[in-house]
Chain A
Amino acid sequence: MNRYLKLVHMEVDRFKYILAGLMSLTLICQFGAVIWWTKSAVSNRESGAWNNGGSMAYSLNPSHNGNLSFTEVISNTQFLFMIPILISIGVLAIYVFLIWYRDWFGRNTFIYRLLTLPIARRHIYFAKLTAILLFIFGLVSFQLALIPVEKLIFNLIVPSDMRDPSYISNSIYANPALGMLIPWHFDSFLVYYVIGIIAVLVIFAAILIERSYGRLGILYAILYLGISAFLLLFPMVGLGLDNLNGYLYPNEIFAIELVMCVAVMAVSVWLGCRLISKKITV
């Protein structure tokens, strides 16, 4: 256990600068967007331009009295909020591959040292998986922590008589990307992130297949990715969920989908552990 945790820490340590960079980018973009938009909106109202229809964006304000709400800020700065989120998703998606390939193709072929460590090799697999999850949930938590601070900044800029109250929950849903990232219902959160974890496990298995079987491995890996995608998607699209006369009831299709998810997950973990333990040689 101790060795596994050390490996996790090692992976976190190797990614810390990129993670800090992504967090900084998120902070700068979102704080900047909130401050810039709120200040413009306040000065627009104070100068009276809002009443005269001076700015299109503000004249479309849904509030009857012209007051500002934090939800309105989030709604009007969607693009600037989404940029760091999309960049973070992209970087993490690439790093799911790099976390393995940098060990093989990095300067010192680090994988030789990892695989010769006197520990069960499955620890390497689980440490990389844990590290990826820590990066994902770390960024999500960081985004969660930013929102109350952004609301505080909004409250500091906007005079109280110019403010309308707003729910944090409603503010989050004013931006579709935030709504997807941190859904209000915990079961939606589980669904989104379990699907993401399954995708990571399948890709890990595909990478290890490729590493185990050389050139032929590329074909096997693509085949494995295809079969997994088919098994996961088939219950949803092939069993007539929305078909008027579908033979299976929706709850039965849900049960089949659940079984498929568990099966793909279990097979991917088993395959990954087996390949790294028995097949990959240095």
Chain B
Amino acid sequence: MRRYWISIVLSAFIVVGLGTYYVYGAVVDFPEYKILKVSGDVNEGSKISVQGNFSDGGGNQFLIATAEGSDYPSRRSIISQIFSGSRSWMNDQVDIRQMLNDHRSFMRGKGNFTSFYKDEEWIIYADAVLNNSFGVKPEIVLSIDTLNQTSGVVKHYETIVEDPMDYSQIFVEDVQLIGEQIHMFINQRSKGDLNGSAVEYHDYVVDMNNGTLINNARLTFGDNTKDNVELFDRSIMNTIYSASSDHAILIVYDEQKRVNDYMGIIDEHLYSYAYKTGVLTDLSDTMLKAGIDDIGEIRLDGHILTILNYEEDFIKLSRYNIDTEKVTNEDISLSAQQLGAEKIIMGTTKNNKLYILFYKNDIPKVAVLDTTNGAILYTGEVVYEGEASESKWTMNTEGRLYMQIAD
């Protein structure tokens, strides 16, 4: 036996070494941070996750803190990083997640979450493919799949739209069902020109019974004839992508022509497009009259526009009704001092709640307000949960802090 000592010692060394390390790994985790309630209803803080960095000499480690504890994405197992991480955008949307659970077969091969529409009866997936191969007449193929949730019947249509314009890319921004007409709101970008004036928005209307193209409305907005001015745009669709909505929102910026990469915004306009009437309305003046002079971060929930503006020392929320062209409720406006904050980092809205991330004394803090009346429902702070000897660790407020709200 003595002659085999090298092999025996080596084997024992492996078993003890790896065993100890992974048993130790199973019981000891990384520095634990938590969002702890300071005041209010603890349930209001359960959907908040604060993303930041933990610093321990050897650089920063990205971590996500919630009321449950903390998570280090870079240290997730390789299997979950590769397989759960891929196409994670689908699982991030509550509506898409539900559809994936309920209609796994129908959802196969459908990955563009802005292409979905869902109501009580129908699920529609409408995608657009650009066919502009060399030597082929350019065309856009509208590919539509419908699922009747009551009968389970699935139908597929393909409609070809011939368009002489040579587009470089097209993107489905929104899909809606009005009566028996499917509206596909599509952003089409011309080849070789990246400036805003080369972007078109189309509303393609397709008969859901036979896939026939009923109408192709090109939206005309802004004035691109001005000298030294370029138009840039962005679209705002319903917060829940697959939910029904009567409107699509476009924000169009007049910007100085590019000089040394500097572009100054000269003017900005906010348009509302109504699917039912096909009318594009410039909301800028009516919103200005309603007291909204900065469109900051904007969200659309049905016919309500939520406009959020914040700086380091204040946060202001306005809600504007597109149908009545009036603000609903009073604006919510808070200073950093009122919040007890050294610095406001960000704000976001979801489900009629305003979520604010700020910090004081190097401690990240959160607050939840009711957007209908401005009442503070919850306040909390990110704290280190560990032994007192290790309490020197704090979540680094100098790095980038960010907040996400779960559905």
Asked if A62 contacts B60 (CB within 8 A), the reply is yes
Measured CA separation A236–B74 after assembly (Å): 20
A182 interface hit (Cβ, 8 Å): yes
Residue in B59, B75, B82 whose beta carbon sits within 8 Å of that of A184 in the complex: B75
* Most A C-beta atoms less than 10 A away, residue of B22, B104, B112: B22
Asked if A144 contacts B56 (CB within 8 A), the reply is no
Asked if B58 contacts A72 (CB within 8 A), the reply is yes
In the complex where A9-B4, A170-B58, A250-B83 touch, is A185 in contact with B77 (Cβ < 8 A)?
Answer: yes
B406 interface hit (Cβ, 8 Å): no
Measured CA separation A138–B134 after assembly (Å): 59
For residue A236, give the distance in angstroms from its CB to the closest CB of chain B. Answer: 8
Which chain B residues border A247 with CB–CB below 8 Å? 108-109
Contacting chain B: which of A99-107, A216-224, A238-246, A265-273?
Answer: A238-246
Asked if A166 contacts B57 (CB within 8 A), the reply is yes
Asked if B25 contacts A187 (CB within 8 A), the reply is no
Interface size on B, residues (CB 8 A): 49
Asked if A144 contacts B18 (CB within 8 A), the reply is yes
Measured CA separation A189–B17 after assembly (Å): 14
Asked if A167 contacts B6 (CB within 8 A), the reply is no
A37 interface hit (Cβ, 8 Å): no
Asked if A188 contacts B83 (CB within 8 A), the reply is no
Which chain B residues border A169 with CB–CB below 8 Å? 25, 28-30
A165 interface hit (Cβ, 8 Å): yes
**Which B residues from 23 to 62 make CB contacts under 8 A with A?**
25-26, 28-31, 55-61
A95 interface hit (Cβ, 8 Å): no
Asked if B79 contacts A254 (CB within 8 A), the reply is yes
In the complex where A8-B7, A69-B56, A253-B83 touch, is A191 in contact with B13 (Cβ < 8 A)?
Answer: no
* Most A C-beta atoms less than 10 A away, residue of B14, B56, B75, B79: B56
Which chain A residues border B21 with CB–CB below 8 Å? 144, 182
Q: Which partner residue on chain A sits nearest B387 by CB separation?
A: A165
Chain B proximity mask over A132-149: 1 for CB below 8 Å, otherwise 0: 001001101110110000
Residue in A69, A138, A167, A189 whose beta carbon sits within 8 Å of that of B22 in the complex: A189
Which chain B residues border A8 with CB–CB below 8 Å? 7
B180 interface hit (Cβ, 8 Å): no
Which chain A residues border B127 with CB–CB below 8 Å? 245
Asked if A12 contacts B10 (CB within 8 A), the reply is yes
Asked if A250 contacts B17 (CB within 8 A), the reply is no
Which chain A residues border B76 with CB–CB below 8 Å? 185
Measured CA separation A166–B11 after assembly (Å): 30
A251 interface hit (Cβ, 8 Å): yes
Asked if B56 contacts A167 (CB within 8 A), the reply is yes
Q: Which partner residue on chain A sits nearest B11 by CB separation?
A: A134
Residue in B26, B57, B104 whose beta carbon sits within 8 Å of that of A62 in the complex: B57
B153 interface hit (Cβ, 8 Å): no
Measured CA separation A43–B61 after assembly (Å): 28
A210 interface hit (Cβ, 8 Å): no
**Which A residues from 1 to 49 make CB contacts under 8 A with B?**
5, 8-9, 12-13, 16
Which chain A residues border B60 with CB–CB below 8 Å? 62
Residue in B28, B55, B58, B84 whose beta carbon sits within 8 Å of that of A171 in the complex: B58
A63 interface hit (Cβ, 8 Å): yes
B226 interface hit (Cβ, 8 Å): no
Measured CA separation A187–B75 after assembly (Å): 12
B110 interface hit (Cβ, 8 Å): yes
Asked if A250 contacts B25 (CB within 8 A), the reply is no
Asked if B110 contacts A174 (CB within 8 A), the reply is no
Asked if B78 contacts A167 (CB within 8 A), the reply is no
Measured CA separation A41–B56 after assembly (Å): 16
For residue A182, give the distance in angstroms from its CB to the closest CB of chain B. Answer: 7
B residues near A (Cβ < 8 Å) are 3-4, 6-7, 10-11, 13-14, 16-18, 20-22, 25-26, 28-31, 55-61, 74-79, 82-84, 86-87, 104, 108-112, 127, 389-390, 392-393
Contacts A141-B16, A191-B77 supplied; 14 other A-B pairs, CB < 8 Å: A63-B55, A71-B56, A72-B58, A138-B10, A142-B17, A145-B17, A166-B56, A169-B28, A185-B76, A187-B77, A191-B79, A242-B86, A248-B108, A250-B83
9 A-B pairs within 8 Å (CB atoms) are namely: A9-B6, A61-B57, A72-B57, A138-B10, A166-B57, A170-B61, A184-B25, A242-B87, A246-B87
